[in-house]
Amino acid sequence: MFEGPIQDLIDELSRLPGIGPKSAQRLAFYMVKAPAQDARRLAEAIVAAKEGVRFCRDCFSVSEGELCRICRDPGRDPEVICVVEESKDQAAVEKAGVIKGRYHVLGGAISPLEGIGPDDLRVQELLDRVGRNGVREVILATNPNLEGNATAMYVAALLKPLGVRVTRLASGLPVGGDLEYADEVTLGQALEGRREM
Amino acid sequence: MRLSWIEIRDFRNYHEASLQVPPGLIVVIGPNAQGKTNLLEAMYYLCTLESPRVSSDLPLVRSVTFSPGGGGQPPASLSPGPSSAFLRGEAESSGGRALIEVEVRGGGQNRVQVNRSPVRRKRDLRRHVRAVFCGPDDLRIVQGEPDDRRRFIDECVRTLWPAKEGTASAYERALRQRNRLLKDWPGPAAPPGLEGWDAELVGHGAALTSVRAGAVAEIAGRASQEFQRLSGQTAEALGVEYRPSVEPAGTETLEAAFRRRLDERSADELIRRTTLVGPHRDDLGLRVQGLTARGFASHGEAWGAALSLRLALGRAVASELGEDPVVFLDDPFSALDPERRRRLAAGLGGRGQVLIAIPDESQLPEETATVWCVREGQVAAA
Ligand SMILES: [Zn+2]
């Protein structure tokens, strides 16, 4: 334990995901030794991101404006929606270059152990979108792990009565892994080879 | 395969020790509480990154030492103990040599390197060395709860087939998710989304059931042979039988059987708010002379059964790999009558590198190649 502001900084940093107490300490000491303008720039970037970030009205991906770049793009097929857990998964899928349609970010996956149920995700918003916009296909690209699979199954059961085609990523992705760690080629193949649910 | 040397620092009661480990049968002799079990444990840990005795690593790090004062010495003081234990050593197998280095941090993640490259998963180490440990705690396999026997089966699975290690943990997580959903859902009907967890439970559960069945099939006949050799009578058989919670009827697949059983118990599950079907309810049937070992076996028979199961695992691994694993037997003779003791001792040769810990020389097997004496955390060759 250190005294005063440096310990406060360590405490704040160690609350971040993936940062243990040792890393927090190293980052904190790096920051206090760095020039004052560097520290100020970092602090301002954090505040600006927090205040400036918005979520797309339609797909709930991070966005600069009311609608994100993809939802604004008239060249993207509005009748195909690719459902992902988080914005970072959308970025990974987008990089694979297979999806010509739009996205829907659920905001996580169902996990009873973490207290996350269907009502904590943007499931109703997805159903509304599908009912409203004459959607042809919904691709469920939740992570290929327990929680992602269970979420896909839950969402699929709600979508099918709406008469929409529901597909799921083909197997072949590292089991239990996250989409963000899959390479573009493998992820592209899993999307191309998607199967009916 | 074998260990060729080991260095130990700040592990249990060992401050520092460095040992060449010859092939064949090595006998570790020492009175109780001097550190002979700790020595076997350190070597087993180096091979598997697991303690056969404790699930937490905290007790493995040498604890705070109390130094008494007096006689012109500084006053009694508590010196802070080390924060990590270190194990280094080399394993030799047909695949080559592997330098294994482990920092056991009491809290936190261990640091493990094989041939100077970091290793993240236990199963990556099993490519280089496998080990089997048998100690007094193993009586639980025979006399304990089904949970103890399931743990033994899963240990057989990952020792035989390291790549299958994730099967049990994936099922465990699906089970915990499903149980939490059942428990927390306030309504009288099935919670929304249960089907998704059913699918995960059935998928991972069927995989676990079949891999457990495979492991028990590898063990059963060999354990019976070991038990007969120990008793010296072909009539004294040890029956080993996998009793899965889910068994297919007729041509039914395992998955279909699992689904059927879940359907049958669904009303009960909603009342009891927990998962009532699946490999978390498996058991291993053990019978001596046709009677359930748990209730009827004498202490000596129970120990003989536990020992036979462990030795059978060693034989099964040897048949899988084409070379013997390193075998550790902690106090194998004490619970046996003199006849069984003699027969066990005579049968310890020809199993590759075997390390046994015994309290005194009176039990020294004829096949012994090396003797180490342990006293107060020091090892000396005899
Ligand atoms: Zn959008």
Segment A125-135, tens digit of pLDDT:
999 999 887 89
Nearest CB to B193; choose among A113, A115, A118? A118
Whether residue A20 lies inside any domain: the answer is yes
Give me the pLDDT at residue B364, please.
87
Residue A175 · residue A145 · CB < 8 Å: yes
Give me the pLDDT at residue B64, please.
58
Residue A90 · residue A84 · CB < 8 Å: yes
ipTM over 0.85: no
What residues does B111 pair with on adjacent strands? B103
- What would the pLDDT profile of B301-359 be if each residue is shown by its tens digit? 899 999 999 999 999 999 999 999 999 999 999 999 999 999 999 999 899 999 999 99
How many other CB atoms sit within 10 Å of the CB of residue A192? 11
pTM here is 0.86
Cα(A197) to ligand 1 centroid in Å equals 25
Token look-up 């999307």 returns A191
3-state DSSP call for residue B28? strand
Taking Cα atoms as reference points, which of B38, B34, B17 lies closest to residue B355?
B38
B14: its two tokens: 């060992």
A interface mutation test: which of B120, B178, B197 has the most A CBs within 10 A?
B197
Give me the pLDDT at residue B78, please.
54
Q: Which of B243, B278, B296 is the last residue of a domain?
A: B296
Token look-up 């059931």 returns B209
> In whole angstroms, what is the distance from residue A154 CA to residue A147 CA?
11
Which residues span the domain enclosing A138? 76-196
**What's the structural domain count of chain B?**
2
Whether residue B234 lies inside any domain: the answer is yes
In this complex, is the C-beta atom of B199 within 8 Å of any C-beta atom belonging to chain A?
yes
Contacts of B197 in chain A (CB under 8 A): 112, 150
Residues A110 and A175 in one domain: yes
Could A153 and B199 be called an inter-chain contact, meaning their C-beta atoms sit closer than 8 Å? yes
**What's the structural domain count of chain A?**
2
Residues A37 and A101 in one domain: no
As a residue count, chain A comes to 197
Which residues span the domain enclosing B184? 147-296
Strand A101-105 to A77-84 pairing: parallel
**Positions of chain B with pLDDT lower than 50, given as ranges:** 66-67, 69-77
- What would the pLDDT profile of B68-105 be if each residue is shown by its tens digit? 544 444 444 455 678 899 999 999 999 899 999 999 98
Residues A39 and A106 in one domain: no
φ/ψ (deg, to 5) at B187: -75, 165
Look up residue B304 and give its DSSP letter.
Answer: H
Q: Provide CB contacts within 8 A for A4, sequence distance 6+.
A: none
Residues B27 and B59 in one domain: yes
Taking Cα atoms as reference points, which of B201, B327, B214, B328 lies closest to residue B259?
B201
Whether residue B230 lies inside any domain: the answer is yes
Taking Cα atoms as reference points, which of B276, B290, B313 lies closest to residue B141?
B313
Residues A80 and A48 in one domain: no
Residues B164 and B273 in one domain: yes
Cα(B326) to ligand 1 centroid in Å equals 59
Whether residue B367 lies inside any domain: the answer is yes
How many other CB atoms sit within 10 Å of the CB of residue B299? 12
Give me the pLDDT at residue B69, please.
44
